[in-house]
Amino acid sequence: MKKSILNLVTSVKGRLLEFPGIVNSIEQKDLLFMKKLMSWITALEELFLTYNISEASELAGLRSKILAPAFSGSKRNAVRKTQLKIASEILYDLQHTVLEVLTPYESRIEESRELIRQLLTIVSQTKTISYDCDQPFDHLVNDIWRFISSHEQLKAGAVKLKTSLIMSDIQLLIAEEIDLKDF
């Protein structure tokens, strides 16, 4: 079963927005830096695994570099300093890996969003669908989708959208892009 790309992008972007705080915590020598970083990495690994994204293994590999000194037999303070050094050295690699995963998904959503804008413009020009404020908004979204899916000239756009996104993502993008004054 395909999973929501919109949810993936939103989740990954949220995690990336946490990254400056993590970097600030190492700069400020926050004692919780290592815990924050490991939690951040683990959360992203789990998210990537949920979506079968192979870069989860790259994140796990980078996390293993941080963990490795704990098995060296050195004193606790030496291990902690070594782990902090390694963590600070791989911060950019972590961020870069996550951003590399995010970029193609963001592009796919933006392409779909642009196609939906074009389709909505065409649908609104036909004047066949109008918004009834007494009906739930999702009825309008569903009516628009049915029209796009069944209209001979718009059907190709519907097929393209269905190959890129799951139905709930398509509906959400339609809802986000609708300008009610056009309907």
pLDDT digits (tens, 9 = 90+) for 87-144: 989 999 999 999 999 999 999 999 999 999 999 999 988 888 888 888 888 899 999 9
Closest CA to 37 of 82, 111, 78, 94: 94
Q: Where are the domains of the chain?
A: 5-107, 109-182
The C-alpha atoms of residue 134 and residue 65 are separated, in whole angstroms, by 59
End-to-end CA distance of the chain: 34
Question: Is the full-model pTM beyond 0.85?
Answer: no
**Percentage above 70 pLDDT, the chain:** 98
